[in-house]
């Protein structure tokens, strides 16, 4: 069993704060500060350009980091070794995955996604379809209509497993199976899954997957995204963003593009070396646990939170599935003045976030949130809600980031 007190001790958590927003941005691993200094002084500072071949904590070179870290993340999401690579941002990885999938299904024109998806995924799909100009159609259906929408016109389904607003979780294995049964491909966005619950990409037969590392994985603001390509597509998936570092031989400087071997072809350009140094420290903490332990503890914490809020705050309406098996690692409540209520909570050290139009969202992250944190959060939320402490003009002014 994981020692969650030990994992919690690995994070810098401000005194007096209950941090329930690790689903948006994970906290700072304490070791990252020294590691970043080392990466800057000993590597960037003293190695300069030679760091590409000998930098990194293990001395394997900065150039090797995107696949080395990819394998470590792969271990948390049921990916085969050598099938995950880091780089760019999630929006870009969504574009890459969808572009490759559409090229693998040249006779089909329909992409299925759902209205619970994060808008950036839909925007990227829309932009790709416009650039391709081949008559593709992005069909956005209600989350519970995805399965029925998978017909033999469909080239790919592009689904975020866990809904960023409600936490509702799709059945990855079942939808992937349905997609394959009609000859379609399945792309999974794991933004709210990686580090939140057990994912088995290989077992589910997913074709592509993407995700970010700054949410549950705790890689830090602007940490790079990852992409998974199933080994069976590794040699046939064409990279649409054919940058030089995805080339078979970047330092041959050929004028023609030839995709690199396997997952390397999903690299685009120069990797974010400093950001990856911080992510390494986050991954060290993941080595102290298993996703089975994290999931079990996450369910305990979310159940405790729902019970606590429902018994004290009748004005808050549960907006997440009641059955923990049907949700990720967050709990959302609907409340018409949710924005102001969340600002009042933040002012009192309970950090969640707000998602329009009326969702108060709380993430539960067993690596650094424990039962005492949940109880303290419930107590403060009950005080704010029952005494209408949110009903003040300064809590109603919207900031740029909610
Ligand atoms: C957080 C999130 C994003 C954000 O994309 P970035 O390019 O990293 O800003 C995209 N898609 C989903 C599903 C997300 O949850």
Report if residue 270 sits inside a domain.
yes
pLDDT of 402:
83
Strands 154-160 vs 110-114: parallel, antiparallel or unpaired? parallel
**Domain count of the chain?**
2
Q: Are strands 84-86 and 225-229 parallel, antiparallel or unpaired?
A: antiparallel
Choose one of 21, 26, 86, 90 to mutate for the ligand 1 pocket test, by most ligand atoms within 8 angstroms of C-beta. Answer: 90
For the CA of 93, the nearest atom of ligand 1: 7
| Domain-located, residue 401 | no
CA distance 273 to 55: 9
Q: Is residue 125 in some structural domain? A: yes
Assess whether 294 and 270 both reside in one domain.
Answer: no
Residue ending a domain, choose from 286, 303, 336: 286
Task: Specify the residue for token string 């999630």.
Answer: 90
Choose the final residue of a domain: 260, 286, 312.
Answer: 286
Task: Return mean pLDDT, the chain.
Answer: 97
The mean pLDDT value for 84-107 works out to 98
Catalytic residue among 361, 364, 368, 395: 361
**227 contact partners, CB below 8 Å, separation of at least 6:** 84, 85, 87, 93, 96, 97, 208, 209, 210, 263, 266
Ligand 1 atom having least distance to the Cα of 212 = 8
What is the whole-number distance in angstroms between the Cα of residue 24 and the centre of ligand 1? 9
Mean pLDDT of 263-268: 98
Ligand 1, atom 13, lies closest to the CA of: 118
Which of 189, 207, 358, 373 is flagged as catalytic? 189
Residues 59 and 167 in one domain: yes
CATH number, domain at 197? Answer: 3.40.640.10
Over range 22-46, report the average pLDDT.
98
Asked if residues 333 and 310 have their Cβ atoms less than 8 Å apart, the reply is no
Residue 402 lies in a domain: no
Please choose from 91, 208, 359 the residue to mutate so as to test ligand 1's pocket, defined by most ligand atoms within 8 A of CB.
91
Quote the ligand 1 centre to 100 CA distance (angstroms): 19
Determine whether the shortest distance from the Cβ of 114 to ligand 1 is under 6 A: no
Q: Confirm whether 225 is domain-assigned.
A: yes
For atom 1 of ligand 1, which residue has the closest CA?
191
Inside any domain, residue 96:
yes
- Beta-carbon count within 10 A of 47 CB: 17
Return the H-helix or E-strand segment holding 70.
helix 65-74
266 and 311 co-located in one domain: no
Residue 189 a catalytic site member? yes
Mean pLDDT calculated for residue range 339-359: 97
Which pLDDT value is given to residue 186?
A: 99
- Domain of residue 19, CATH code: 3.90.1150.10
| CA angle, residues 327, 388, 339, in degrees to nearest 5 | 50
pLDDT for the residue numbered 246: 97
Q: Residue with the nearest Cα to atom 12 of ligand 1?
A: 118
Catalytic residue status for 215: yes
Last residue within a domain, chosen from 271, 286, 301: 286
91 CA: nearest ligand 1 atom: 7
Is there a single domain that holds both residue 260 and residue 307?
A: no
pLDDT of res. 401: 87
> pLDDT tens digit string along 208-246?
999 999 999 999 999 999 999 999 999 999 999 999 999
The answer to the question of residue 228 being in a domain is yes
pLDDT bucket at 393, cuts 50 / 70 / 90: very high
Residues 329 and 242 in one domain: no
For residues 217 and 332, state if they share a domain: no
Distance 390 CA to ligand 1 centre (A): 29
Is 161 in a helix, a strand, or coil?
Answer: coil
Q: How confident is the model at residue 365 (pLDDT cuts 50, 70, 90)?
A: very high
In this prediction, what percent of the chain has a pLDDT beyond 70? Answer: 100
Distances from the Cα of 310 to the Cα of 305, 333, 336, 381, angstroms:
8, 10, 17, 11
In a shared domain, residues 20 and 83: no
Give yes or no: residues 237 and 350 share one domain.
no
Structural domain containing residue 109:
33-286
Same domain? 69 vs 45: yes
**Does the model's pTM come out above 0.75?**
yes
Ligand 1: does its nearest atom lie under 6 Å from the Cβ of 118? yes
Distance separating alpha carbons of residues 204 and 207, to the nearest angstrom: 9
Ligand 1 centroid distance, CA of 383 (Å): 33
Determine which residue's CA is closest to atom 15 belonging to ligand 1.
191
**Residue written as tokens 């590794």?**
234
255 in a structural domain = yes
Tokens of 398: 């919207």
Contact in structure between 286 and 11 (CB atoms under 8 Å)? no
Known catalytic residue: 118? yes
The string of pLDDT tens digits covering residues 326-341 is 999 999 999 999 999 9
Is the confidence at residue 399, as pLDDT, over 90? no
108 and 182 co-located in one domain:
yes
Cβ pair 378, 36 in contact under 8 A: no
- Residues 124, 200, single domain; the answer is yes
Model confidence at 152, pLDDT cuts 50, 70, 90, reads very high
Residues 116 and 222 both lie in one domain = yes
Is 362 annotated as catalytic? no
């Amino acid at each position: 069993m994981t020692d969650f007190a030990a994992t919690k001790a690995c994070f810098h958590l401000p005194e007096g704060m209950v941090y329930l927003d690790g689903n948006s941005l994970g906290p700072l691993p304490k070791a990252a500060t020294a590691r970043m200094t080392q990466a800057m002084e000993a590597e960037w500072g003293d190695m300069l350009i030679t760091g590409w071949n000998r930098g990194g904590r293990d001395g394997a070179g900065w150039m090797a980091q995107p696949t080395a870290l990819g394998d470590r993340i792969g271990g948390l999401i049921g990916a085969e070794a050598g099938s995950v690579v880091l780089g760019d941002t999630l929006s870009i990885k969504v574009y890459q995955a969808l572009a490759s999938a559409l090229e693998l299904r040249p006779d089909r024109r329909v992409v299925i996604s759902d209205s619970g998806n994060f808008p950036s995924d839909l925007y990227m799909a829309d932009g790709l379809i416009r650039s391709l100009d081949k008559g593709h159609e992005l069909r956005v259906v209600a989350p519970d209509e995805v399965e029925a929408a998978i017909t033999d016109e469909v080239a790919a389904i592009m689904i975020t497993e866990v809904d960023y607003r409600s936490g509702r979780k799709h059945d990855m294995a079942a939808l992937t199976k349905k997609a394959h049964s009609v000859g379609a491909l399945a792309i999974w966005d794991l933004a709210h899954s990686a580090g939140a619950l057990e994912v088995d990409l290989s077992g589910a037969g997913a074709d592509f997957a993407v995700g970010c590392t700054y949410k549950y994985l705790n890689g830090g603001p602007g940490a790079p995204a990852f992409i998974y390509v199933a080994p069976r597509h590794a040699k046939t998936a064409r990279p649409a963003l054919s940058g030089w570092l995805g080339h078979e031989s970047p330092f041959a400087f050929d004028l023609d593009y030839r995709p690199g071997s396997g997952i390397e072809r999903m690299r685009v350009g120069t990797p974010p070396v400093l950001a990856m140094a911080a992510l390494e420290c986050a991954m060290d903490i993941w080595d102290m646990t298993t996703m089975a332990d994290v999931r079990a503890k996450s369910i305990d914490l979310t159940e405790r939170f729902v019970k606590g809020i429902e018994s004290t705050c009748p004005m808050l309406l549960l907006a997440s599935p009641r059955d923990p098996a049907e949700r990720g690692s967050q709990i959302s409540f609907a409340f018409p003045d949710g924005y102001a209520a969340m600002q009042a909570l933040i002012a009192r050290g309970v950090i969640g976030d707000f998602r329009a139009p009326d969702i108060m969202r709380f993430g539960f992250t067993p690596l650094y949130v424990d039962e005492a944190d949940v109880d303290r959060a419930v107590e403060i939320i009950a005080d704010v809600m029952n005494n209408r402490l949110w009903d003040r003009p300064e809590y109603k002014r919207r900031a740029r980031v909610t």
